Amino acid sequence: MKLGVYPGTFDPITHGHTDIIARSLRVFDRIIVAVAHNPSKRPIFDVAERVEMVKLVTKDFAHVNVEAFDGLLVDYVRRHEAHAVIRGLRATSDFEYEFQMALINRKLDDKVETVFLMPSEEYSYLTSSIIKEVASLGGALKDFVHPEVAERLRHRLRRPIQ
C-alpha cells in the first residue's frame, strides 16, 4: 500500500489543496494530510482549528487521514513509513522553494521522495494568503474555499463575506 504525506499549514484549506488531495489519491492508496504547527507563518487559525477544517473538507474522501504534526517532516514521514511527500506546484515561482525543500529533505533522509503535482488550472493562482486577504476585505469566497471555511474566516476576521 503506497502512503503519501501531504504537509502544509492549510491556513485555511482551499479548493486548490483539495484538488491536490484528489490528484494524490490517483497515485497513492492512502494520504495523510499533515497539518503543520508552523508558528513562523503566523496562522490565523490554531492547529486544532485547521485540522478540524481539513477533516471537514475531506470527509468524503476515502483513504485520507488528517493530523497535526510538529518537527522535521522527514522524521514524520519516517515514523509513518510513508513512501513520499506530496507537494503542489502552482506556478514556476513555487518551483525554486519546493525544489530546495525536496533537496534538503533528501539530504536529511535519502529515502524520502517528493512527488510534485500541479493543480487544475482553475486553482493555479490560489494561495491561503490571497484567500485571507480577500476575506479580510469582505470579498466573496465561494469559488475558493468550502462554505464552512468561508464562514470561519468571516467570523475570525469579523467581516461580512459575500
Walk along the chain (162 residues) in steps of 10 and give the mean pLDDT of each run: 96 96 97 91 93 97 97 96 95 85 95 94 89 91 95 82 48
Which of 78, 90, 156, 159 is flagged as catalytic? Answer: 90
Selecting among 41, 111, 142, 155, the annotated active-site residue is 41
- Decide if 17 is catalytic: yes
- 144, three cell numbers: 475558493
Q: What is the pLDDT of residue 159?
A: 57
Whether residue 90 lies in the annotated active site: yes
**Catalytic annotation present for 41:** yes
Active-site residue, from 17, 83, 146, 152? 17
- Look at the domain 3-124 and name its fold: Rossmann fold (3.40.50)
Q: Which of 24, 83, 87, 128 is catalytic?
A: 128
Q: What are phi and psi of 24, to 5 degrees?
A: -60, -35
129 is catalytic: no
From residue 14, give the alpha-carbon distance in Å to each of 53, 67, 96: 10, 17, 22
